Amino acid sequence: MRKRLLLAFVALAVALVSATAASARRSATTINLVAYSTPKPVLAQLISAWQATPDGKGVNFTQSYGASGSQTRAVLAGQPADVLFLSHGADMNSLADAGIVPSTWDKGKYNGIGANSVVAFLVREGNPKHIHTWNDLLQSGVQVVTPNPFTSGGAMWNILAAYGAQRKLGKTDKQATAFVQQLFTHVVSQDTSASNAANTFLSGKGDVLITYESEAYAGVAKGQGLHMVVPKQTLLVQLPLVASTKAPPEAQKFIDFVQSPAGQTILASNGYRPVDKSVLKDPALAKWRAAYNGGSRLIWTINDPIYGGWRQAFKTWFDPNSGRMVGIEHAVGGTTGG
């Protein structure tokens, strides 16, 4: 009996020492989070919720937010990054090409996507310019706010959605490209990021902001009588969330949490469309389920043949030397700088 008690005591002591050592290792771990500009509030909730779990207890974070393209260039230049939450796959592909994230980043769970959104419009109280469709943006006198496509991933999604909507309405490639150019004659501000563009719109400039649905919800929540319009033709915004190749194990554990039902519930209740759609069965998310599933809309992805995936879409539209947006910006007197 005494021997069994001694062995039990030793086993308990070993377990306590192991647990203490594991906790000490976690408390010595810092995850460098690099993200695009708009999800800062929801990431604060996700980090807090994860730190309350055994895996996240004691883990610290540094956080950096900015335009997705600018963030990508900073990481390529040496900024530490363990977890990357960027606004589109082209930026993640650039990091994969440099060996900073795995080349197979889009082959994992949910294809490396942490959350989804769609391209939407935010309009003034009462929608005085009667903006409901993409074509309404070309009405005389309508002033449009959208970010700079050479720094902002949100701007890229907006442009590709505008082009794609015209293609889905039966227009040719040439006609749809001409539509984008005409749209940019109405653009009155091209801020460096989607968040900055939202702030410009909230300050009173423009009649309509083209933005992420999630950012539009945030704008509505800030008051001023703003109203969100999701056009009947819109593009699914897929937001990649990936650990770098040299990240500590805790980085992937955090991503696993974000993609878990607990993390997806937090995202869904903050205006992001969850990659795990099963969480929308929760009665507490009934209003969000209705919002995400409401309306008869045509929603397509970047892998649609009209784009050919992010690598082809980036080359066609946003290459700084030969992309269509360089010519369009020059034609309308817009910006091509960062």
What backbone phi and psi angles, to 5 degrees, belong to 143?
Answer: -105, 125
The DSSP element (H or E) to which 113 belongs, if any, is strand 113-123
**96 plus 123 within the same structural domain:** no
User: CA-to-CA distance for 166 and 226, rounded, in angstroms?
Assistant: 26
Tally of domains in the chain: 2
Tens digit of pLDDT for each residue in 104-144? 999 989 999 999 999 999 999 999 999 999 999 999 999 99
Yes or no: say if 138 and 183 are a contact pair by the CB < 8 Å rule. Answer: yes
The 8-class DSSP code of residue 85 comes to E
**254 plus 210 within the same structural domain:** no
**183 plus 215 within the same structural domain:** yes
**285 plus 300 within the same structural domain:** no
Average pLDDT, the chain: 91
What backbone phi and psi angles, to 5 degrees, belong to 212?
Answer: -65, 145
**201 plus 319 within the same structural domain:** yes
**Residue 282, CB-side half-sphere exposure with 13 Å CA sphere:** 16
Q: What is the largest CA-CA distance in the chain?
A: 91
Q: Tell if the pTM clears 0.85, that is, is over it.
A: yes
Question: In this predicted model, which residue has the larger pLDDT, 15 or 210?
Answer: 210
pLDDT band at 223 (very low <50, low <70, confident <90, very high): confident
The total of other beta-carbon atoms located within 10 Å of residue 262's CB is 14
**43 plus 64 within the same structural domain:** yes
CATH number of the structural domain spanning residue 59: 3.40.190.10
Yes or no: say if 265 and 105 are a contact pair by the CB < 8 Å rule. Answer: no
**137 plus 171 within the same structural domain:** yes
User: CA-to-CA distance for 119 and 264, rounded, in angstroms?
Assistant: 20
Within a domain: 10: no
The answer, yes or no, to whether residue 217 has pLDDT greater than 70, is yes
**221 plus 281 within the same structural domain:** no
| Owning domain of residue 255 | 26-115+238-293
Output the CA torsion sign for 276, 277, 281, 283.
Answer: positive
Q: Which residues pair with 60 in a beta bridge?
A: 30
Tens digit of pLDDT for each residue in 274-315? 999 999 999 999 999 999 987 789 999 999 999 999 999 999
